[in-house]
Chain A
Amino acid sequence: MSEFSSPDSANSSVNQSIPTVDNAPLWRLAWRRVRRRPFQYVLFVLGIAIGVAMLVSIDLANGSAQRAFELSTDAIAGRTTHRIEAISPIGVDEELYRELRTELGYTQSAPIVEGYVVAEDLDRQPMRLVGVDFFAEAPFRSYLNDNSGSSSNDDSDQGIEALTAFITEPNTVILARDTASEYDVQVGDRLNLTLAGQPTAAKVVGILQPANALTRDALSNVLFTDIASAQEVMSMQGRLSHIDLIADNEADLAPIQAILPEEVKLTTAQAQKNAVQQMTAAFKLNLTALSLLALVVGMFLIYNTVTFSVIQRRSLFGTLRCLGVTQGQLFQLILGESLVLSILGSVIGLGLGIVLGRVIVGLITQTINDFYFVVYVRDISVSNATLVKGMGVGIFAALFASVIPAIEAMRTSPNNSLKRSTLEGKVKKVLPWLVVAWAVFTVGGFGLLSIKNGGLVIAFTGLFAILLAAAFLTPPATALLMEWLSPTLSRLLGILGKMAPRDIARSLSRTSIAIASLMVAVSVIVGVSVMVGSFRTTVVQWLDQTLQADIYVTPPSTTANRVFGSVDPTVVQEAYTWAEIDHIVTYNDTDAEVVAFNRDAANQSEIAVDRSVKLISADGDVSAGQRPYAWIRDNVKDPWPQLDAGEGVIISEALMLRAGVSEPPETVTVESPQGSLTYPVVAVFYDYSSDRGTVLLDDDLYLEAWQDPSIASLGLFVKPDVDVDAVVTQLRQTFKGRQDLVAQSNRNLRQGSLEIFDRTFAITGALRLLAVVVAFIGVLSALMSLQLERTRELGILRANGMTPPQMWKLTLLETGIMGSLAGFFAMPLGYVLAWILIYVINVRSFGWTLQMQIEPSYFWQAWIVAVVAALLAGVYPAWRLGEMVVATAIREE
C-alpha cells in the first residue's frame, strides 16, 4: 500500500490534507478485476460489439447500394452538368440533338441511349447498357478516348482504326476489366444479354481498364455500346434517352432553352441523384432506426454491467477514498474502464458489422431493386466514414451509459460505502420520481408523434422517448408487483416463493434494469411483428380486391415489382380475338412529375410539390370495381366510370400523404410532354406496390398528352365457366418460343407479390433477431451478475440448510419471475410500438395506411422468448451456486 502515498508526493503537497494518488495503481486494480471476472466484461464487450455491428452493417449495406448507384450514375454522367430529358417515356427525338449540333453548334453535347439488360453469363446481374456516340464523348467521359495508358503517342488514328468494330459492327460492347476477369470474359467473346425478355448476343470488342479503384467500382456494372446498337437493341430508333450537356454557366443554355420543345425538359445532372436519394431516404432511415434500437438495448446492458462493477466494488472504493483517491480519479477509473472496453467492443463490432454487411447487402439491394432503382452491388464498399461513425457511436453509447454509475462511484463517501443497503434505499426514494419521469416522457413522446408533418426523425425521437419512458416505469412497477406477488407465490411454493420476489424487490437497482432491457427488446419484437403482420394482412386483402382479372400478360422484367418494356402490339391485337376472353384491360405506365396540388379550385390555393410518381394509364379497372378507396369525391360507389370518361384522375394515398397533404386535393397538376396538365381528383386509392405515389389516368387522355401508345401489361378476364388454368396453359402454348411475354394466372401473380413482400421484410426479421440476441446477452449478464453477487448470501442460506435443488429452484424462480415480468410489461409496450409504427412511422415513411391486425400469438410468443431467455440466464449461476463450497462462499475476510 505504500505506493499510494510515496514520501515524495507527501512532501510536495504539504498544504493538502490528503495527498494525490498516482493513477497507475488504479489502472492495475481495474485490470486485476477484469482478469478475475472476465465473463462480465466479455458480455460488456459483446453488447457493444453487436450494437455497433448492426449499425455498421446497415450503414454499409445501405451506403454501398447508394454508392454503387451514385458511382455508376456519376461515371455515366461524367462531366455532364445538365441534361435534356423527355417527359414522355418514348425519349427525346434525336432531331433535337441534330439541331443542337448543326444549327446551334453546341458541341458540348452528347446523345445517350441507355437501359438495363440482364447479363446471363455474368450471374444474371442487371447491367446498365449505355449507348454512346464515340465522337461526342470526349468532353464528357474519358473512358473510351483516353489512350494515355496504353498506346503511346504514335497517333490516335490507330484509335479510330481500333474503334471500327465498336462503331460499325452491331451489338458490340465494352466492359470493365474487373467484371471481365471475374467471369473470365475475353475480348472477342460473346455475351448473352436479355433486355425485357428479348435475348440478344453482344460481342465484347474492348475491355475497359479503369485508372483507379473508384472508376473500377463505378464501371463494374456498365456495358458501353455504340449508340446505333443501343437504339436497335432497345427499339429506340430515332429516340435518345437523354442528351448530356456541359454548360459553364446558365447563360450558355439560353439558346438551348429557346428551341426546346414542350415534351422535353432541361435538368441538372445533380437532380437525378437527388431524386434517387429522396426515393430511398425513408427506407434507409427506417433501417437505421431499427439498428439504433439494438444499440439502445445494448446501452441498457452496458449501464447494467457498469452499475454492477461499481456496486460490487463499493467497499473497495470506500477504502480507496480513505487512502486519498480523489472523486475525480474514481470517476476517471470507471469511465476509463468503459472507454477501453467500448473501444474493444467497437472494434469487434466493426469487424462483425463488415461481415454482417456482406450478408445483408443482398437483402437490401433486392428491396431497392424491387421498389426503387436497379443497382447491383458486387461487394460492400467499406467507407471510413461508416467505421468512424460506428466507432464513435459505440464509444459514446458506452460512456454515456457509464456516466451515472461513475457519478455514483465518485459520490461514494468513505463511511457509508460499506453499507450495501444505502443504494437500494436511495432507489426506493427515487421510485415516485421515476413515475413522474415516465409520465413526462410518455406525454412528450406522444406530443412529438402528434406533430403534423413532423417528419420521420421527430417520429422516431418520439418512439424512443416512449420506449425510455417505459424503462423508467419498470422499477416502480416491478416493486409494486413483487409486493403483490410475494403472498401468492408463498402460498403456492412455500418459503422459496416468498423469498424470490423479495430478493428481486430488494435488489431493484439491478433487477429492474435487467427487466427493462429485456422488456424493451421483447416489445420491439412484439411491435415489429404486429406491424409486419398487419402489413401483410393488409397487402393480401388489397391484392385480393385489386387483382380481379384472371390472367396477366406482361413482358418479363429485370426486377420483380416493376415492368420494363412493353407487350408486342401484335399480341395485344391478337388477344382481343381469343374466344375464351370476356374482356381485356390494358395498362401502361411511365414516370411523371407531380408539380402541384390544388386544394380549392375556386380560390386557386396551390400547393407546390415536386414528386416523381408512377403514372398509370388504364383503359379499364383491373379490380372490376372491387378496389377499396380511401376517399371518393362524389357519392358514388365506384369512381372508375368517371375516370374512364376522362373526368379526372385517381391518385394514390401515398402520393398525398408523402407530399404532406392530409386532405384529398381538388386537382393535381402533372408535367406532361404538352406542358403542365391539371386534372380533377375523383378518388384516392390504396396502392401498396409503390411508396412513390401513383396517378391513375384514362388511357385516352394519356395517349393524347404523352403520345405513347405502347402497352405494358394486359389483364384478361375470361368468360364465366371457362377454366382459367386451361387458358393460361393454352396461352403459354401459343407464346411458346416467345421470350418477350409472360402469362400468369391471378394466383401466381398474387403469390409473386407476396414473395416480394416477404423478401422486403426479411431484413426486418434479421434485425429483430439481432435485437433479441442483444437483449438476451443483456439479461444473461445482468441476471448472472446478480446471482453471482449473492454468493455469500446464498452460501449462508446453504449453511443454514438449503439444499442444492432448492438453490436451483430459487435461482430459476427469480430469473423466471424477472423474465415473465419483462414479457408482461412488453405486451402493452409492444402494442404501443406497433401502433406508432403503423399509424405514424409507416404513414410518414411510405404513405401507406395499414389495418392493424392483432394476433395473440405475437404476444404470447414474445412472452415465451422472455421467460426462456431469463431461465437460460439462470442456469449457469444456479449450477455455480450448486457446486459452491459453502465455507468458501461465506468466508469474507
Chain B
Amino acid sequence: MKNLKQFAFVFVAIAVALTITFYPRAGITNSGKASVQWLAGQGEPQSEFLQAIAPKPLKFPQDLGPHEGYQTEWWYYTGNIEAEDGHEFGYQLTFFRRALTPETAAVDDASDWRSNQIYFSHFTISDIDGNKFYPHERFSRQSAKLSGAQAVPYRVWLEDWSATEIEPGKVHLVAKADDVALDLTLNETLPPVLQGDRGFSKKGPEEGNASYYYSIVQQQTEGTVAIADKSYAVTGRTWKDHEYSTSALSPGTVGWDWFSLQFDDGSALMLYGLRQENGDIADVSSGTYVSATGETQPINHTEWQLDVLDTWRSTKTKSSYPSRWHLEIPKLDLVLDGKSLIANQELNVSTNYWEGAVGFTGTVANQAVNAKGYVEMTGYADRLDVVL
C-alpha cells in the first residue's frame, strides 16, 4: 500500500502540473504600458508664426473668432455665481487654441483630421459652500468638426463643451463632465475692454513678446450648475478674456499672478504681475480699472502694492500659493483685503496651476465695496519659462 501511495503522489504532482496548463495567462490589457522616445525638437518654428509687435485695431465681431496665424490663443470665462438659497459657486471654462506648426501640411486629398491646430479646454466648478473643487480637462484637434472657433456667429467649442452666441451680446456656455455640469447664459452689459495699449498687451521687453488682449466684464449670468445629481439655478457675473499671441515668457520670469475682480458697484479691475526669479514683478506687468460705465484707466506696475498675507500649500505639488492678499492702489484710492474662497483650487491637469474664486472687500474712494473674482497663479508648481 505504501507503494501505491508513492505512486499516488507522483500522479498528484502531474495533475498539479496539468492544472497549471489551465491557469489563466497574463493579458496585455492591464500591463500594456510603454513610453515613447520622441524625435528631438524640430528647430525653432516660432519665427514663422505671426507676432504681436504693435497695437492693431481690434474689430468686432471679427476678432471674437480665432487668429490661427498666432501660436497661442485663449477664450477665458470665469465667473462667480450664486444659487437662490445663497449657495456660492465659482466656475472656469477656458478654451485654449495652440497651433503646432505655422501651417497645415499640404497633402493631396487631405484627411479631415489633418490639422495643425489643437484645442484644449479647462472646466472647473468651485463649490464654495461645499468646499470642493472639480477640475476637468479635454484635448482635441481642430478637425473633423470636433473643436474649433468662429467669429460670426461667435462660437468656440471642444466636443460638447462650448460657448455659442445665441443673439448679439448673448452667449450660451455649456460644459458637462461626469460629476459636474454647467449651462449658463451670459448677457453683455459693457462693450469689450481693450487691455494694455488699445488691446496690445506687453509681456516682456523683447519685440513680439506681447499679445492682443480684450475682456468683456460684468456679464450678467444665469443658468444652472449641477454637481453630482443635484442641480442649482444660479445667477451671477462672468468675466471673459480673449487673448492671442506668439510669445514666450522672458527668461527669468517664473510665472504670473492674474487678478480679475468685479465689484458690486459695476466696476472691474484686472491686474497681472509677471514674477521674476528674484521675487520682483517685471516692469511690463500692468492692469486696467474699468468703471461701472465702461471707462478704463491703465495701471502700471509701480502704481499698485500687493502684499501676500497667507499661503496655502498644495499636498499634490507641494507648492505654496498665496491665499490672502492686501491690495492698495493709491491712484484709485483703493484699499482691499481678499482671500481665496476655498483653499484648494489647484488644477492638476496637463499643467499644474491655481485658478480659483476669490472675494475682496474694502474701499474705493472711501466707498465700501465688495468684489468677487478670479485669481490665476501659475509657475508655482511648474516654472513657465522652462515649459513654454
Contact = CB atoms under 8 A, between A and B. Distances in A.
Interface of A: 71, 74-75, 77-79, 94, 97-98, 101-105, 107, 133, 135, 141-144, 146-150, 154-170, 174, 176-177, 187-188, 204-212, 214-215, 218-219, 226-229, 231-232, 235, 237-238, 326, 328-329, 331-332, 335, 339, 383-385, 388-389, 391-392, 395-396
Contact of B36 (A160, A174, A384): A174
Interface of B: 1-4, 6-7, 10, 14, 17-18, 20-23, 25-29, 31-42, 98, 100-101, 104-105, 107, 109-116, 118, 138-141, 143-146, 157, 159-160, 176, 350-351, 382, 386-388
Given A101-B159, A231-B111, A214 B34 contact: no
A167 B28 contact: no
Contacts of B33: 142-143, 146, 210-212, 215
Nearest to A174: B36
15 contacts: A98-B145, A157-B350, A159-B38, A163-B38, A164-B100, A166-B38, A167-B141, A206-B37, A208-B36, A215-B28, A215-B34, A229-B111, A232-B110, A383-B25, A388-B17
A181 to B, nearest CB: 12
Looking at chain B's contact residues, is the secondary structure mostly helix, strand, loop, or mixed?
Answer: loop
Contacts of A160: 98, 100, 118, 350
A206 B36 contact: yes
B383 to A, nearest CB: 8
Given A158-B387, A237-B109, A335-B7, A75 B37 contact: no
A154 B35 contact: no
A174 B41 CA distance: 16
A211 B3 contact: no
A157 B35 CA distance: 16
A427 to B, nearest CB: 27
A335 B176 CA distance: 72
Contacts of B114: 170, 228, 232
A205 B113 CA distance: 19
Contacts of B139: 135
Contact of B41 (A79, A94, A161, A210): A161
B61 to A, nearest CB: 23
A155 B104 CA distance: 25
A9 to B, nearest CB: 14
Contacts of B41: 161-162
A105 B176 contact: yes
Contact of B32 (A150, A215, A395): A215
Nearest to B26: A214
A148 B39 contact: no
B34 A155 contact: no
Given A165-B42, A174-B36, A212-B31, A94 B112 contact: yes
Nearest to B114: A228
A214 B387 contact: no
A766 to B, nearest CB: 25
Task: Give 7 nearest A-B pairs by CB, closest first.
Answer: A105-B160, A162-B38, A149-B35, A228-B113, A211-B33, A231-B111, A135-B139
Contacts of A219: 34
Contacts of B116: 168
Given A227-B111, A227-B113, A392 B18 contact: yes
B34 A142 contact: yes
A160 B96 CA distance: 13
Contact of A167 (B35, B100, B138, B350): B100
Contacts of A147: 35-36
B382 A141 contact: no
B20 A388 contact: yes
A849 to B, nearest CB: 36
A392 B350 CA distance: 53
A850 B145 CA distance: 56
Contacts of A165: 38-39, 42
B39 A206 contact: yes
Contact of A385 (B25, B101, B350): B25
Contacts of A389: 18, 21
B37 A388 contact: no
Given A103-B160, A160-B118, A163-B100, 12 more contacts: A147-B35, A150-B37, A154-B382, A155-B387, A160-B100, A168-B115, A187-B39, A207-B37, A211-B31, A215-B31, A332-B6, A383-B25
A228 B117 CA distance: 13
A211 B35 contact: yes
Contacts of A159: 38
B23 A97 contact: no
A258 to B, nearest CB: 16
Contacts of B10: 339
Nearest to A386: B21
Nearest to B27: A74
Contact of B39 (A142, A177, A188, A211): A188
A467 to B, nearest CB: 25
A578 to B, nearest CB: 28
Contacts of B105: 168-170
A154 B36 contact: no
A498 B264 CA distance: 127
Given A214-B31, A232-B114, A187 B37 contact: yes
Contacts of A392: 14, 17-18, 21
Contact of A226 (B7, B113, B160): B113
Contact of B100 (A105, A168, A207): A168
A170 B141 CA distance: 15
A383 B6 CA distance: 29
Contacts of B27: 74
Contacts of A105: 159-160, 176
Interface centre among B34, B105, B107, B145 (most CB of A within 10 A): B34
A133 B141 contact: yes
Contacts of A385: 20-23, 25
B3 A328 contact: yes
Interface centre among A135, A208, A326, A395 (most CB of B within 10 A): A135
B32 A75 contact: yes
A275 B160 CA distance: 35
Contact of B107 (A163, A188, A232): A232
A123 to B, nearest CB: 22
Contacts of A155: 350-351, 382, 386-387
A471 B33 CA distance: 55
A383 B21 CA distance: 9
A238 B112 contact: yes
A102 B146 contact: yes
A425 to B, nearest CB: 29
A149 B34 CA distance: 8
